[in-house]
Chains A and B, each alone.
Chain A
């Protein structure tokens, strides 16, 4: 029953999505209010049926209905209940359904919150989202249907990949998708604006909070994925420049550029075409990411073997959606800028934000080329290649260094024309202090730190002090504000400003964490027997014993490690080697002692045979022991960025009532902006 109901719900959702995608759009051209008014109910009903289908699949997992092929493949009787829920999105079919569900969630929230939008605009936005829904619901139904039967039903299922039986998998994909798919909203806004042929201040103001929320979700989604890989893959890496990671990182880079360029369009009316283009690219890259991950064209450390027909479908859909949007852009964009662009000087907030955008876009291009080149080389028969961290690492660093250098100037610089000497006066002590901190750290911890670590401290301190300077300039001494002195209401600490400060502080933390942990981690793979110990820095890791334990659906060897410093025990760590599915799947469960300034990481490799074939209690193991300073800062930085984005999204100016309906029809009013001759 469940399978049939789910199937029907999904088909109904597809039909409703077709209505949502077509009638309101047609109505908007013909001025038919009744057709345009269909957008909202159609969108809500479509989302409801998608949610129903998703719920039914979840029920099938919880009740363990092994007559569904998908359930039978990805769970079994011994799977604990909470993992049965996350197993819904543990593989291809279900994760697509999650994609569609998340799109439905965004669509419904938008439909409910968009009452203030003019009807034709709202109809077009929801129709564009409907087109995306049609594409993905059809994709799920026709190539990746999770409701297919397996008859006769199996008595027991296969098993969920043990790597995925984890808290990280419960939260990482939904968060990531909320971000990824969330970029569909600014995309739909951009396309609707292009259809309308008008981009004004109102438009950006509607679009901004959605972009910020999507960006925040994507930020935390990527951070959760990195954290999960760190503790679950068993080798303690947090970022591998793996194609699957790059797939989610590219939309993030463009999304970051987008939220900054939106600020310019919102406040100054400049960069309009560019903002539209970024909105189109952010979502196109999300689609590209979906294609890369879901088509199986990539060889990745994260295994997603799949089927080429699916890849082709997404590729065609990507070409249709992005190609269509870009064509529309090419036709309409030249008309959008017109004479309304306000000129700006070489030293100005605009030019700083332009540098931000160019650097982030270049970084994205760098990642894109490195990710796609192996695919192209293979397709054109140039040979089989892979592009590793040696390519991404240094060049990405090279692009981010100027970004970090310029960042503190951004919030302090005046729009249009800033005073370079004045900027320098505001930041010279910060610059000096940051350099001094780096130099001091270099003198004290030279051995451990390396030049990268010292740079991390300089960069982090520079960014953090930049945040303080920006806050001081706004809140403490308004007279020193180099920012536009005429915009009096801006002196208040509004949510947008506070959010920016928090996100930039997150960036400071992230930069420090990345460079310190990359430069000063100690990673040892050693042969260690119970009773032996290894000293790393001032810590002694004692391997006490190994014991066998039984989990709900696995057996494990559990190691007992004690970490001592100066005759004081500071941690007990219990890494495990687990055997799932009767031993056919082996998993390393690392033990991590997390701290604010350092992580301790112990993982069991494999048991080694001694020459004399010694007994199992004293059998040596291959053991991985890491000391990773400031590891947490990488993710805490990302958490701060997310909080910053979320805070900024609550700014009151986005919620302000539209003054009057005709305001949309007028080009942006520049009169009060005092345009320089």
Chain B
């Protein structure tokens, strides 16, 4: 019986140790791989880091889409109707990508103030705006109203 109890204690200890190690590992992994969401206003105010993978959301500015003549390079501007940020992307844009519609791009902000996207997501549902994008635009609106009130 004592033998069994000792073995159980060892087992519980080993499991606890394993769980602890796993938790520590997972939390580190999470911290290193989180992609923070920023709006163009966040970027304009210098809150977004450069050269770290992040997500940028907003609306594709009307008439801002440009294409390189001989490659799949595209450029467009993402706006929250307060600040704007140019985005560069090479590849095929999703079916629902439209000027004037919301978009979420994953990529890195470069020193020259251009966002280099590795992935561009547009929502499947055209009447639906991703929660983050809506939130970013709302925040920008409030800020704009505050600034105008201050003037």
Question: Which residue in A391, A525, A609 is a CB contact (below 8 Å) of B72?
Answer: A525
User: B124 an interface residue at 8 Å Cβ cutoff?
Assistant: yes
Q: A362-B22, A369-B26, A388-B35 are in contact. List 12 more A-B contacts (CB 8 A).
A: A343-B7, A383-B37, A384-B36, A384-B132, A385-B34, A386-B55, A388-B106, A391-B29, A527-B70, A588-B95, A608-B67, A622-B72
Task: Give A603's nearest chain B residue, CB to CB.
Answer: B92
Interface size on A, residues (CB 8 A): 44
Instruction: Let me know if B125 is at the binding interface, CB within 8 A.
Output: yes
- Contacts A343-B4, A362-B22, A609-B67 given; does A385 touch B35 at CB 8 Å: yes
Q: List residues of chain B with CB under 8 Å of any chain A CB.
A: 4, 7, 15, 18, 22, 25-26, 29-30, 32-37, 53, 55, 67, 69-72, 90-96, 104, 106, 121, 123-126, 128, 130-132, 135
Query: Closest approach, in angstroms, between the C-beta of A374 and any C-beta of chain B?
Result: 8
The minimal Cβ–Cβ distance linking A277 to chain B, given in whole angstroms, is 14
Shortest Cβ distance from residue A68 to the other chain B in the assembled complex, whole angstroms: 20
Chain B residues in 8 Å Cβ range of A305: 125, 128
A265–chain B nearest beta-carbon distance, Å: 17
Minimum Cβ distance to chain A for residue B100 (Å): 14
Q: Are B121 and A387 in contact (CB under 8 A)?
A: no
Of the listed stretches A50-58, A296-304, A309-317, A542-550, name the one at the interface; the rest are far from the partner chain.
A296-304
A588 to B122, CA, bound (A): 14
B15 touches A358 (CB 8 A): yes
CB proximity of B99 to chain A, nearest CB, Å: 13
Known A-B contacts A358-B18, A395-B25, A609-B67; A370 and B37 likewise in contact (beta carbons under 8 Å): no
The 6 closest A-B pairs by CB, nearest first: A384-B37, A605-B92, A391-B33, A303-B124, A586-B95, A390-B33
Residues of chain A from 297 to 339 with CB closer than 8 A to chain B in the complex: 299, 301-303, 305
**Dominant SS at the B interface?**
mixed
Please tell me if the beta carbons of A303 and B128 are within 8 angstroms of each other in the complex: yes
A624 at the interface (CB under 8 A from B): yes
Q: A587 within 8 Å of B by Cβ?
A: yes
Q: Does A493 contact B (CB under 8 A)?
A: no
Residues of A contacting B4 with CB < 8 Å?
A: 343
Query: What is the CA–CA distance of A610 and B68 in the complex, to the nearest angstrom?
Result: 10
Q: Are B135 and A163 in contact (CB under 8 A)?
A: no
Selected contact of B131 from candidates A234, A299, A365, A391, CB within 8 Å: A299
Number of A-B contacts (CB under 8 A): 94
Instruction: With both chains docked as a complex, state the minimum distance between the C-beta of B26 and any C-beta of chain A, in angstroms.
Output: 6
Q: Are B30 and A391 in contact (CB under 8 A)?
A: yes
Which residues of chain A (332-387) have a CB below 8 Å from chain B?
Answer: 343, 358, 362, 365-366, 369-370, 373, 383-387
A323 to chain B minimum Cβ distance, whole angstroms, is: 22
> Cβ of A606 < 8 Å from any Cβ of B?
yes
What's the Cα separation between A433 and B146 when bound, in Å?
Answer: 71
- Residues of A561-610 contacting chain B, CB below 8 A: 584-588, 603, 605-606, 608-610
Question: Cα distance A393–B49 when bound, in Å?
Answer: 24
CB-based contact B72/A234 at 8 Å: no
Within 8 A of B (CB), among A481-539: 525-527
Contact of A650 with B by CB under 8 A: no
Interface residues of A in 443-480 (CB under 8 A from B): none
Please name 19 pairs of A and B residues whose Cβ atoms are closer than 8 Å in the assembled complex, sorted by A: A299-B132, A303-B125, A362-B18, A365-B22, A369-B30, A370-B30, A373-B30, A373-B34, A383-B37, A385-B35, A385-B36, A386-B55, A387-B33, A388-B106, A390-B53, A395-B25, A395-B29, A610-B69, A624-B92
User: How long is the Cα–Cα vector from A423 to B37 in the complex, in angstroms?
Assistant: 51
**Residues B95 and A366 in contact, CB atoms below 8 Å apart:** no
Q: Is the CB of B124 within 8 A of A163?
A: yes
- What residues of chain A lie closer than 8 Å to B96, measured between beta carbons? 586
A395 touches B130 (CB 8 A): no
User: Which chain A residues border B18 with CB–CB below 8 Å?
Assistant: 358, 362
